[in-house]
Structure 1
Amino acid sequence: MLEGVNVALGVTGSIAAVKTVELAHELRRQGATVRGVMTDSARGIVHPWAVEFATENEVVTEITGSVEHVDLCGYDGWADVFLVAPATANTVGKIAGAVDDTPVTTCATTALGADTPLVIAPAMHEPMYDHPGVLEAIETVEGWGVDFVEPRIEEGKAKIASEEAIVCDVARAAGDRPLEGDRIVVTSGATSEPIDPVRVITNRSSGKMGRAVAKACYVRGADVTLVHDGPDVPYAETRHVESAREMIASAREACADADALVSAAAIGDYTVDASDEKIRSGRELTLELEPTPKLIDEMRSQYPELAIVGFKTETSGDEDAMIEQARRTLERANLAFVVANDASVMGAETTTALLVHASDAARYEGTKAGLGGEIADSIATVLGSDRAAK
């Protein structure tokens, strides 16, 4: 996600600085090169040697005649993005007021002046976060184009955001945003149909592919809505559903102002008339299965002009047959393109897939995160072509 990206990591005197080492490791795991910048207060919480160890680079702890702030964040500076994590109330206020009395605030002022992307992850006690001056400072700095990674409000504290959230916002700030201003709806994972209050019919989908697409679209600038039976994610508005009908209803509502829909969910093909009481075990039972509506058909009927990406899962292992089935779906529902894959990849971190368009098909083999990026790029191309045609 951050391959080839240079991240200057500013660390200030919040107790959340103890998470800096792991954050630096995660940035590097995602491909970034990291250099640390620390305030005196931060050095009282985490030793610069720890940050040096985590980044494998020397840490800036003071601004000297070598003008480290310009070297890192100035015009043609080393950093592609300056990340302040954690950022205290004190630091946020100073950045808003162009007060440069620490290495971190001096780098922030330089970054803002040089138009180097700046990402801030605040961390402080909740009453400090609610202070009118802090909120005003955040609003001011956001107005300058700075990205704030919202903290988690827990136990009376505005705790630093998760590593996943911070990494996503750094990638979004540092990269191109071909989906800027677009709204993308992604359905993901399995649905479940109740048999009785304790039993359901479901499938093996893990939702990894759908979440990868949602994340990739967010990193490329989109506003994303994720419809799934899973937890909240930091890169999308999450809508929680269980059954196929709930997913279709939620997707229909979400698509009212959407530019594209990615139907990555493995929606159950059948439902049953559920029992209000638990069905007792130990006896033969026959379930009468009823087909569920097809989400892409429902969305196409409701939104004739919406760009829709479909997924087609097969078990034959025959790529020619997969392409043929994908094209049938593409033509029936007038889809932008279809992602075809084999059921064997369900739950795995890697995948093999075919991106099937009307006139060609491209094969992908690699991680689901990588495929998510390919799909997001294809969506950007489709939406760009649609706008050009209009």
Structure 2
Amino acid sequence: MNTIRTTLAGKEIVLGITGSIAAVDGVKLAHALRRCGADVQGVMTSAACGILHPDAITYATGHETLTRCGGLVEHVTYCGDGGSADLLLIAPATANTICKIAHGIDDTPVTTFATTAIGSTTPVILVPAMHESMYRHPGVRACLETLKEWGITIVDPRIEEGKAKIADTDQIVHETERALSGMPLLGKTVLITSGPCRERLDDVRVVTTRSTGKMGRELAREASRLGAEVWVVHGDILSVPHVRNVYAESAGDMLNSILRLCAEHTFDYYISAAAISDFAPAVHEGKIPSGQNISVDLLPQPKIIQEVMQAENRPKIIVGFKLGWKSREEAQHLLDAGADMVAANTPDTLGADCGAYELITRDSCVHAEGTKAEVAEHLWQHLL
């Protein structure tokens, strides 16, 4: 599903495309940036035009693609001092283009835009794509290091099949979001628990909830977009992108992982977004026979957030999630115990793409409603 986001709303991005076969991904990338709210202007080298027709990028961006720097000095208009562009994104960036930029050589529209942007301190992101042997060339590596020293963001390629393939579109968009967010969480560490817990009933069955982990994933993505280093503890088969994933299936596994991480690291934020099991069934060995009534004893589980609040190296800011926001008293005891915020919601938000939450602190109660991506943005804005 293509999710509409607003993380790049109001931002103007110049998309430079150079002569790698990965230029064919330019249409997909332009669409992805626009779905986040960005205004995208395409710039292509002649080599790129031999692989992908400029009309395709014009269609994807809604602006006439630039294939030369003309009398209107477009490179200055967009990327010069006081230029309108918020960022220059070169994807793909060939070895040829990378080395030219590092040596201030301007012989294509893209390299001219790059020199202008670097001189005016317009943010620049480069996304290399080439054969792996070219990527290993000491001259190319040296140029990449030079560009990093200049403050240019390099989105590392995927090394596959003897090629340094262009990074996934999602990764490129995420790095663009980070670069334009101002990164208020840069240098901060965030620990998030996400998704359901699965408690073993017998050798086949488990007891769980309707939670899917969507809220936790969006909270993690937003924290990373804002510059934080993020750990997510969850039982999802799919990894949460852009963060460190720690697998934990049951409430006991999750508690052990959280306490271990808190002992090993100092966290600035802990967000308990998981639907952690309050009870675990008494385990039946083997498989319970079907076709008959059974009774199952449910055993209470420890409250992970309580354990975290009492940990010796507890995170500085702790946020809990609580079902039942219509009764503020249900959230108040978490605040009294040491939580800094409680995001209270109703059961219909479990597994849904959207939801309504009350963000409760000791001094305020703010309503947040919309997609879980929008709620995650709102929650982090409230915490900063």
Question: Fold-level match, TM-score > 0.5?
Answer: yes
| Among candidates 105, 112, 120, match of residue 106 of structure 1 | 112
Match of 1:7 in 2: 13
Q: Secondary structure at the match of 1:190?
A: coil
Q: Which amino acid aligns with 1:239?
A: V
Alignment partners' CA distance in 1, 2:235 and 2:127: 28
5+ unaligned residues in a row in structure 1: which ranges? 381-390
> Percent identity of the aligned residues?
45
Distance change in 2, residues 1:262/1:338 (3 Å): same
Does 2:242 correspond to 1:232?
Answer: no
The 1:117–1:241 alpha-carbon spacing in structure 2 relative to 1, beyond 3 Å, is same
Aligned mates of 1:130, 1:8 — CA distance in 2? 28
Amino acid at match of 1:313: L
Q: Secondary structure at the match of 1:257?
A: coil
Q: Following TM superposition, by how much is the alpha carbon of 1:83 offset from its aligned partner in structure 2, in angstroms?
A: 0.7
State the match for 2:332 in structure 1. Answer: 327
Match of 2:322 in 1: 312
Mean Cα deviation higher: 116-125 or 15-24: 116-125
- Give yes or no for contact 1:300–1:306 (8 Å, CA) kept in 2: no
Matching residue of 1:266: 275
Change (3 A) 1:196 1:96: farther
1:22 alignment partner AA: K
Q: 1 CA distance for matches of 2:369 and 2:51?
A: 44
Q: CA deviation at 1:113?
A: 1.4
- Equivalent residue letter for 1:174: L
Q: Could you give the per-residue CA deviations for residues 247-269 of structure 1, whole angstroms, max 9, x where no partner exists?
A: 22222333322111111111122
Pair 1:180-2:186 in alignment = yes
Equivalent residue number for residue 296 of structure 2:
287
TM-score, scaled to structure 2: 0.91
- Residues 1:141 and 2:147 are matched in the alignment: yes
Aligned to 2:253: 246
Distance 2:301 2:151 in 1: 45
Give yes or no for contact 1:171–1:219 (8 Å, CA) kept in 2. Answer: yes
Aligned residues: 374
**Per-residue deviation, 1:46:** 0.8
CA distances 1:228-263 after superposition (whole Å, capped 9, x unpaired): 223233321222221222222222333322111111
Q: 1:351 to 1:103 in 2, by over 3 A?
A: same
Provide the residue aligned with 2:42 in structure 1: 36
Distance 2:365 2:91 in 1: 43
Distance in 2 (alpha carbons) for counterparts of 1:250 and 1:92: 42
Displacement after TM superposition at 1:114 (Å): 1.0
Q: Which of 338, 354, 358 is residue 350 of structure 1 equivalent to? A: 354
CA drift of 1:112 comes to 1.4
Q: 1:72-118: per-residue Cα shift (whole Å, max 9, x none)?
A: 11111121011111122222222222222221122112211111111
Which deviates further from its counterpart, 166-175 or 240-249? 240-249
Confirm or deny: 8 A CA contact 2:193 2:234 kept in the other structure.
yes
Secondary structure of 2:118's partner? Answer: helix
Matched, 1:299 2:308: yes
- Equivalent position amino acid for 2:319 in 1: V
Select the residue among 13, 16, 23 that pairs with 1:17: 23
Aligned to 2:3: none
Q: What one-letter code is carried by the residue in structure 2 that aligns with 1:139?
A: E
Partner of 1:48: 54
Deviation at 1:279, TM superposition (A): 3.9
The normalised TM-score by structure 1 is 0.90
Alignment match of 2:159 (pick from 153, 164, 189): 153
Question: 2 CA distance for matches of 1:144 and 1:196?
Answer: 58
| CA separation of 1:305 and 1:2: change in aligned 2, threshold 3 A | closer
Paired amino acid for 1:52: T
Whole-Å separation in 2 of the counterparts to 1:27 and 1:190: 31
Conserved 8 A contact 2:268-2:315: no
Cα distance in structure 2, aligned partners of 1:249 and 1:116: 45
Q: State the alpha-carbon separation in 2 of the partners of residues 47 and 130 from structure 1.
A: 30
Distance 1:200 1:126 in 2: 46
- Name the SS for the 2:240 alignment partner: coil
> 2: distance between equivalents of 1:122 and 1:232?
24
Deviation at 1:194, TM superposition (A): 2.3
Please state if 1:220 is matched with 2:226. Answer: yes
